[in-house]
Structure 1
Amino acid sequence: MHTTAGNWTEPAPWLPSQVPVSLLSTNGNARQFDTTHGPQERTYPEPSPESLLEAYRKMVLGRRFDEQATALARQGRLAVHPSSLGQEACQVGAALALRATDWLFPTYRDCVALVSRGIDPVEALTLLRGDAHCGYDPVRHRTAPQCTPLATHAAHATGLAHGERLKGADTVALALVGDGATSEGDFHEALNLAGVLRAPVVFLVQNNRYAISVPLSAQCAAPSLAYKGIGYGVRSEQVDGNDAAAVLAVLTTAVEDAREGGGPWLVEAHTYRLAPHTSADDPSRYRPAEEAEHWRGRDPITRLESALRARDLLTEDGIAAAAAEAEGYAADLRTRLAEDPALDPLALFDHVFSAPPAQLTAQRAALRTELEEH
């Protein structure tokens, strides 16, 4: 599995599979868990039944969370919400592939990955509510603040992964990026640095076909975004991003290979954003309705549910239990976000410096005095 930079003579081990890795058929039934695929026949270990059931539970919960967040944005409780409807397999797969000691670097669209990592849903939506730049403790959750500028966090993931390795830790960093981010200079700089350093970092590109309204065909002429890795000495792969079993299999392999010294990975997940770019967007202006309908037939939750039922791993009771848990989750989120936030003006000075300079300390004291007087 491992190849040392500068020592390889053939590109084949570094190139992605010619066909995206897929373990489930479109409806989850026709092909159950076929772990060989494509001309290269690269294999990945089949995820355990327990991990697939956990993925299903988190995907159902994540979708209901996403639907509720979209409704809250329409009600004015959130300033905006970038839905991840249809991308649940990518985000849940990323969260489950990591250990608690690993680091996740999310974008603004990755709230489902945040809640799948165990972050409180209200804290996950604090940024979109406008209450703070980051509503959760990044160190406690080993999850960086959500990144709105495209790809700037990719270099952060590389740096953290390299730094952790220098400290002797076996930490892996996983950066979530979109297809539009692969056209940014920061993305290429991060891959180049990761390849040179052999950093234990995985870049997961959620290729949902559009960078806001710009289709993939107008962004890149490569046969696949995954091919961008080989130019930097980064092992690459492409996977069916709506196949939860395949996403989990590939990402788990990538994360553990990076942890063991195999170097960085670039994984392109082919998926689709069923919802608008954000709650303020009208996708009918730039994509045909029949395209979205085609992708609804590849729904990641339906595919996994069908496969689990076919293998007698999931019953009607299990489906009902997951739905009930998700509904309770959404109800709790509605209740808590209906309350006005308790804001402390002095918090403006928190998390600016580890050791605040005298000028900032004086400004904080002056504000405290003013608040007490009024």
Structure 2
Amino acid sequence: MTVESTAARTPRRTSGGKRAGGKTATKAAKTAQAQAAEPELVQLLTPEGKRVEHPDYAIDLSADELRGLYKDMVLTRQFDAEAIALQRQGELGLWPSLLGQEAAQIGSGRATKDDDYVFPTYREHGVAWCRGVEPKNLLGMFRGVNNGGWDPNSNNFHLYTIVIGSQALHATGYAMGITKDGADSAVVAYFGDGASSQGDVMEGFNFAAVYNAPVVFFCQNNQWAISEGNEKQFRVPLFQRAQGFGFPGVRVDGNDVLAVLAVTRAALERARRGEGPMLIEAFTYRMGAHTTSDDPTKYRRDEEREAWEAKDPILRLRTYLLAEGLADEAFFSELEAESEAFGKKVREAVRSMEDPDMMAIFENVYADGSALVDEERAQFAAYQASFADGEGK
């Protein structure tokens, strides 16, 4: 909701027809207008770790559940850090970090039910964790030793989608199928602020609205589409785009795991009741690089990152747990030890992965075979054999 502010009104004019204060007044007015136009941010836990209430999104979690959310975020961050280090050591081909987005992913992931279906991008490592995807399988994809990484139907978690925005259409189509089957489950489609500029996402919105599909569009607005900031992507708050397609949108503090959980849970329940799609904009920040091939120092200021570090999702929940006596130092010490052991396990798992058979790439291409694939297989086999004979080196 937008609250009108008297400070945002046009500055008065002088008797000569010029605005009072000239350019200074005009600049001040624009700043005030921008501040007044800031949309409501659903928040249940402030950056300082203070619990607040929201009239539309209440949540009541036990101490065990709160500690569980904290543990999820800590282990997910450890996993991410290990993956970055492994890529730098040449063990992985590439890695898209989720650093800073743990609350958005764990909160939304824990809001889903087993029979819901999730369509991720390529950065939803925290959601994969919540859905029970084996970390080793996920890393195998980025090492290039498995075919996608996991069976999507085992966890109702689709394979990572590298093509930007296309999963919005996949999710919408799947959700439309759910209504045909008479199921009462829901679908979540993840994408980033950059993907919101893709036509596939807009088409997904339109189909979902027209067919009242039970899909929740979950956008992690981490402020940067690689090197392009929000100001070069859209002119209105991202969540408001839903209005043009005829369904509701909401902006939530993406660094507040409690708010994300509450909002996503409500949106999924709404979808299951047959009330159609909803767009959630999780307002968060990508603390690291877009991927390990990117250098964010080329396009963003250190001050920006430092400002967001003060909103760290893990730190704020830790502060709350300590202040309310819901966790003690023993809990955090034990979790730190568990996290270190988990990191070691991840490193060992990656380094012990066996390389696939070089000829396996030609398998499962066509169900009934293909003359062209057979020809390519033979050519590649001959090329590989040439190395054994000392040729082609």
The interval holding the TM-score normalised by the smaller chain is 0.7 to 0.9
CA–CA distance in structure 1, aligned partners of residues 113 and 152 of structure 2: 15
Computing the radius of gyration over CA atoms, which structure comes out larger, 1 or 2?
A: 2
* Paired AA for residue 215 in structure 2: V
Question: Which of 356, 360, 368 lines up with 1:357 in the alignment?
Answer: 368
Q: Which is worse superposed, 18-27 or 60-69?
A: 18-27
1:170 partnered with 2:181: no
Q: Counterpart of 1:272 in 2: which secondary structure?
A: coil
The residue aligned with 2:33 is: none
The residue aligned with 2:340 is: 327
CA–CA distance in structure 2, aligned partners of residues 76 and 88 of structure 1: 25
Give unpaired runs (5+ residues) of structure 2. 1-37, 389-393
CA–CA distance in structure 1, aligned partners of residues 164 and 369 of structure 2: 35
How far the C-alpha of 1:277 sits from its partner, in A, is 1.1
How far the C-alpha of 1:316 sits from its partner, in A, is 1.2
1:121 partnered with 2:135: yes
CA–CA distance in structure 2, aligned partners of residues 143 and 46 of structure 1: 27
The residue aligned with 2:53 is: 35
The residue aligned with 1:182 is: 196
How far the C-alpha of 1:130 sits from its partner, in A, is 2.2
How far the C-alpha of 1:45 sits from its partner, in A, is 3.0
- Alpha carbons of 1:359 and 1:61: their partners in 2 closer, same or farther (altered >3 Å)? same
Question: Which of 327, 336, 339 lines up with 1:314 in the alignment?
Answer: 327
Question: Which of 85, 90, 105 lines up with 1:91 in the alignment?
Answer: 105
The residue aligned with 1:295 is: 308
The residue aligned with 1:157 is: 171
Give unpaired runs (5+ residues) of structure 1. 1-16
Question: Which of 325, 339, 344 lines up with 2:352 in the alignment?
Answer: 339
Query: Residue deviations 1:76-104, cap 9 Å, x none?
Result: 00111111100000111121111122111
How far the C-alpha of 1:346 sits from its partner, in A, is 5.5
Within 5 Å, give how 1:94-243 maps onto structure 2. Answer: 94-222=108-236, 224-243=237-256
1:79 partnered with 2:93: yes
* Paired AA for residue 368 in structure 2: P
CA–CA distance in structure 2, aligned partners of residues 343 and 322 of structure 1: 35
Question: Which of 24, 34, 40 lines up with 1:19 in the alignment?
Answer: 40
Aligned residues: 348
State, as a whole percentage, how many aligned pairs show the same letter: 39
* Paired AA for residue 71 in structure 1: A
- Alpha carbons of 1:300 and 1:227: their partners in 2 closer, same or farther (altered >3 Å)? same
Query: Residue deviations 1:167-188, cap 9 Å, x none?
Result: 1222211111100011110010
Question: Which of 240, 250, 261 lines up with 2:274 in the alignment?
Answer: 261
Q: Counterpart of 1:198 in 2: which secondary structure?
A: coil
CA–CA distance in structure 1, aligned partners of residues 70 and 157 of structure 2: 22
CA–CA distance in structure 2, aligned partners of residues 64 and 26 of structure 1: 21
* Paired AA for residue 18 in structure 1: P
Contact 1:65 1:112 in 2 (8 A): no
Root-mean-square deviation over aligned CA pairs = 2.5
TM-score calculated relative to the size of structure 1: 0.87
Contact 1:192 1:232 in 2 (8 A): yes
